[in-house]
Structure 1
Amino acid sequence: MARKICVLVISTLFATSLYSQKTLQLEECRQMAIAHNKSIQIAQENVKVAQQYKQAAFTQFFPNFSANAAYTWNQKSLSLLAEDAYLPVYSLNANGTPNYGASWNNSWTVVNGTPVPLDANGKPFNPSTSPDKIEWKNKALLPKEAMEFDMKNVFVGTIGFTQPIFMGGKIKALYDIAKYGEHLASAQQENKMTELLLEVDEDYWRVVSLESKVALAKEYKGLIAKMDSDIRTMVDEGVATKADALKVRVKLNEADVSLTKAEDGLNLSRMALNQVCGMPLDEKYRLADQSLDTKTVEPQLIPIDQALANRPEIKALTQMQSIAKANQKAMFSRFLPNIALTGNYLVSNPNSFNGFETKFGGMFTVGVVANIPLFHFGDKLHTLNAAKSQYRIATLELEEAKEKMELQIKQSSYKTAESLKKQTTTQHNIDQAEENLRYATEGFEAGVITSTDLLAAQTAWLSAKSENIDAIIDVKLCNLYLEKSLGTLKAPAANNTIKK
């Protein structure tokens, strides 16, 4: 009586422990993995980086405003004269013309009827070619200090803008590259998401498979243990030999080893799933598909072109092709002139806008700047040819990827259909193996079948069950791979942050 009570208490505690464990759905595992995975977070940041680069490229269409300022201290001031200067002073006639006779001290003579001045030696000279021989009556003093300018402290400032007018399409090409770069980052994020979902699903169904294998190993061990108990009773009664008992004991030991291997594999697989989902490695839980339902929803087949359009790899390669095309346009723009509108306001101290003044003064300037490439020793031509080759490479890579992915879709469809047939076949094998085991057990208990035949029937039943588990999991994985090849393997809606 006490033994029954103990067994009841242990069973109750075990059931309570199982009930207290949380149950995880496949979608929950996906969501936790997406929230925890660092690669997804990095991909999301890369999308933000690409968006910022795109916005930065868009600003190049607008004018660029800038301000500059400078201060310079000079040791010396600026002087236009080395010494005091004397300027000649003319006497004027009534009509305002110079009166040379009244302005010069030179003596005069008449040569061929024309008055000509005489130099200090009494020789006639031409004042136009020899002005140094002129003796002025009056001179004005121009002191050196009057032509000195205070340049010891110089302040200069400017504020202006530059507006591109025509850059040969360079700005548009660079903006397109940034835009395609954003789309590329989104496609790479989607690809990371798909790879993560694939990894989560594989780990999830691996745990489900091993849980079923552990349960099967325990059930098989129970059959062998019952047979071991029966054969020992038969040995005691003299209707079986010790050799029969040893054969059963060996099978029981093998069942123990198989159960241990299955449990170890289950623990390792559960750790891998925990790591992907961001849970503690030793956390225990139940999986919603632990019962291993044989009902499977097959992915809906879609046209090849639509499937290829869904694939993030194709989206990424398409953007790479577009980037290469835009880069080719950017290289071609280097052959074309660049025209820009400029405007500035210049201020300086000292300034010369109203004489030389040691105070701030400024003015506005507006102009058009043009740069026309003339000769570059083939530099621009080589870079253009390289850009054309890069575009052809991107096109070939895209075409090659489409061919391989089309083959992958065909193979995945074939493997999915094959796995369904295998599942149906293994299910029939289970029915036959269970019937064979029932007949063998009844025959053994009736003494008309040997222990060897019963062990063979049990082994066949174990093999059929194990193959059926593998077939069911294979159907799940083949459907998963088919979804990925069709591009329909998507993240849960609540966490699907991919920008379209």
Structure 2
Amino acid sequence: MRTGDEISLLSRGQKDALSNMGTALTGKFGELAGQIIKDHPELAPLIGQIGGYLPQVGDALNGVGQGIADALRTDTRNVTTAAVILTQPLYMGGKIRAYDRITRHSEEIAGQRLRAVEQELLLDVDKAYWQVVSLVNKHRLAVGYRDMLRQLSSDMDKMIAEGVVTKASGLTVSVKLNEAEMTLTKVDNGLSLARMLLCQLCGLPLDSQLQTADEELENLEVETRDVTADPSLAFGNRPELGQLQAAAGIYDEKVRIERSAFLPQLALTGAYTATNPGLTNGFENRFRGTWAVGLTLNVPLWHWGEGKYKVRAAQAEAEVARLQVAEVREKIELQVAQSAFGVNEANKKYAMSLKNREKAEENLRTAQVGFKEGVIATSDLLAAQTAWLQAQSDKIDAQIDIKLARALLEKNMGTSGR
């Protein structure tokens, strides 16, 4: 740092007095010598001899005084300062502990967010998995239906050749057979796409030959026990609620942080300072340093109500966060209730599909016997076969619905993946 004037330890008058102290002494001696000679004439020769040496003595004293004045110059126009200051907070109004708790809340939010993503992924995988299983079973069903129509078409050709049935009835069966072939093609394409989706969700190449564990089962095992909603379990497990509760905790800590800014703050400080020119051994044109240790106390006295308004604003944000938590709890309770109803409804649909399948199988058996005996028309047999196909498809859908409804219930309860 360059300054215009240096620090001066002597005033201008003191500097002039030091540089002219020999001259001042000579003048004083002249006045004193005149008075001595007047009072003691016999000392005149001695006074004269001394007076002859006074100019040399005066010049010498002037030089000594000038040297003293020069020695007391500080030469502080160029000042270099270096300092290292360490501060250890001792009490910051609770701010440090509040930030520590905010860090823990942030870690909890990150963990809960990861759990939420995992649960969403598990639900998507479950949906894709059971979609594959459903399409495999429907493919098997479509093949059986097509083979049934092929056999019927072959029988119709023979009956047409014998003149038992009309050619129009044979064409009706052929149309149904073509429709069955088209349906089977659609199921094949859908199954391929469903397998690709499952591979994508599992992180596998899309062309992987993925086989599910349940697709070879002739009849899926499903849990048909009704469930009851238990929101209290979901409140403790849902990651979304955990995130909001942690966020509400962060807003509570922000209230403490705002309040801490207007509370006394105490800190331990340590410093090492070096300056050029140095000051510890007079003024030297070299670096000299020293250390210092102390306490710093900051006590806010008056801020014109700023602290009060900031704390109130932070408290309002914290209250909004708590209201969001309460709102999400209500939504979670509703989701759990809906999921439980969905499971119970899927159970009822499955029970009804079993009854419908039994009736459709009996109806098909009766229609086949009647057709062979010639008492049932071709259209009635085709209608019975179509009803059987629909009943079998409804049963498969009901089984898959139970699986998906229970997967959704586990996700809404926050227990999926555990």
Q: Same fold judged by TM-score > 0.5?
A: yes
Residue equivalent to 2:334: 407
Higher mean C-alpha deviation, range 294-303 or range 371-380 = 294-303
Q: Does 1:344 align with 2:271?
A: yes
In 2: Cα distance, 1:345 partner to 1:334 partner: 28
Q: How much does 1:379 deviate? A: 3.8
**3-state SS, counterpart of residue 65 of structure 2:** strand
* Matching of residues 92-111 of structure 1 within 5 Å: 103=28, 105=30
Residue 185 (structure 2) pairs with residue 260 (structure 1)? yes
User: Amino acid of the residue matched to residue 336 of structure 2?
Assistant: I
Aligned to 1:129: none
Q: Residue 296 and residue 303 in structure 1: after superposition, are their counterparts in 2 closer, same or farther (change >3 A)?
A: closer
- Give unpaired runs (5+ residues) of structure 1: 1-71, 92-99, 109-137, 492-500
Contiguous gaps of at least 5 residues in structure 2: 34-60
Q: Which has the higher strand share?
A: 1
SS in 2 for 1:280: coil
In 2, Cα distance between equivalents of 1:299 and 1:160: 70
Tell me which residue corresponds to 2:261: 334
Distance (whole Å) between structure 2 residues aligned to residue 203 and residue 254 of structure 1? 27
Q: Which amino acid aligns with 1:446?
A: E
Candidates 392, 398, 404, aligned match of 1:471 = 398
Are the counterparts in 2 of residues 339 and 371 from structure 1 also a CA contact under 8 Å?
Answer: yes
Q: Please tell me the residue identity of whatever aligns with 2:166.
A: T
2:129 equivalent in structure 1: 204
State the 1:157 CA deviation.
3.2
**Match of residue 357 from structure 1:** 284
Quick one: which of 378, 395, 409 aligns to 2:322?
Answer: 395
Equivalent of residue 66 in structure 2, options 142, 155, 165: 142
2:389 is aligned to 462
Tell me the distance in 2 between the aligned counterparts of 1:420 and 1:441: 31
Q: Which of 82, 85, 90 matches 1:157?
A: 82
Give CA-to-partner distance per residue, 1:375-410, whole Å, 9 cap, x none.
Answer: 445443333222111111111111111111112212
- Say if 2:305 is the partner of 1:305: no
Deviation string for 1:245-303 (max 9, x for gaps)?
11111111211221122122112211111111111112222210112513338698684
Quote the residue 1:216 is aligned against.
141
CA apart distance, 1:106 = 5.0
Q: Secondary structure at the match of 2:19?
A: strand
- Alignment match, 1:176: 101
1:321-346 per-residue CA deviation (whole Å, 9 max, x = no partner) reads 11111111111112212221211122
**Other-structure match for 1:192:** 117
Report the AA paired with residue 485 of structure 1: N
Amino acid at match of 2:314: A
Cα separation, partners in 2 of 1:300 and 1:359, compared to 1, 3 Å: farther
Please identify, of 230-239 and 411-420, the stretch whose mean Cα deviation from structure 2 is larger: 411-420
CA 1:264–1:176 in structure 2 vs 1: closer, same or farther (change >3 Å)?
same
Aligned to 1:236: 161
Q: TM-score, normalised by structure 2?
A: 0.83
Q: Which digits, 9 at most, give the CA deviation of each residue in 1:1-57, with x for residues without a partner?
A: xxxxxxxxxxxxxxxxxxxxxxxxxxxxxxxxxxxxxxxxxxxxxxxxxxxxxxxxx
TM-score scaled to structure 1, two decimals?
0.70
SS class of match (1:306): helix
Identity across matched positions, percent: 40
Alpha-carbon distance in 2 for matches of 1:299, 1:151: 92
Distance 1:208 1:342 in 2: 70
The change in CA–CA distance for 1:79 and 1:104 in structure 2 (over 3 A counts) is farther
* Distance in 1 between residues matched to 2:221 and 2:242, nearest whole Å: 35
**Would you say the 8 A contact 1:429–1:464 is kept in 2?**
yes
Structure 1 equivalent of residue 19 of structure 2: 86
User: Separation in 2 of the partners of 1:237 and 1:474?
Assistant: 48
Pair 377,250 (structure 1): closer, same or farther in 2 beyond 3 Å:
farther
Change (3 A) 1:148 1:229: same
Q: Distance in 2 between matches of 1:484 and 1:165?
A: 47
Note the C-alpha offset of 1:153: 7.3
| Root-mean-square deviation (Å) | 3.2
d(CA) in 2 for partners of 1:166, 1:453? 91
Bigger Cα displacement from structure 2, 267-276 vs 197-206: 267-276
SS at structure 2 position matched to 1:364: strand
- Distance in 1, matches of 2:247 and 2:6, equals 62
Question: 2:414 is matched with which residue: 460, 481, 487?
Answer: 487
1:426 matched to 2:350? The reply is no
1:439-463 Cα shifts (integer Å, max 9, x gaps): 2112212222111111011001001
1:442 matched to 2:369? The reply is: yes
Bigger proportion of residues as helix: 2
Deviation at 1:202, TM superposition (A): 0.7
Give matches, 1:246-325, under 5 Å. 246-290=171-215, 291=217, 292-296=219-223, 303-325=230-252
Structure 1 counterpart of 2:338, which letter?
Q
Q: Secondary structure at the match of 1:286?
A: coil
Work out whether residues 416 and 478 of structure 1, in 8 Å CA contact, stay in contact via their aligned partners in 2.
yes
Higher Rg = 2
Q: Residue 142 of structure 1 aligns to a residue in which SS?
A: helix
Given the alignment, which residue of 355, 363, 369 partners 2:296? Answer: 369
Q: Tell me which moved more, 228-237 or 288-297.
A: 288-297
Q: In 1, Cα distance between the equivalents of 2:7 and 2:156?
A: 127
* Aligned-partner Cα distance in 2 for 1:489–1:187: 13
Task: Give the residue type in structure 2 aligned to 1:402.
Answer: R
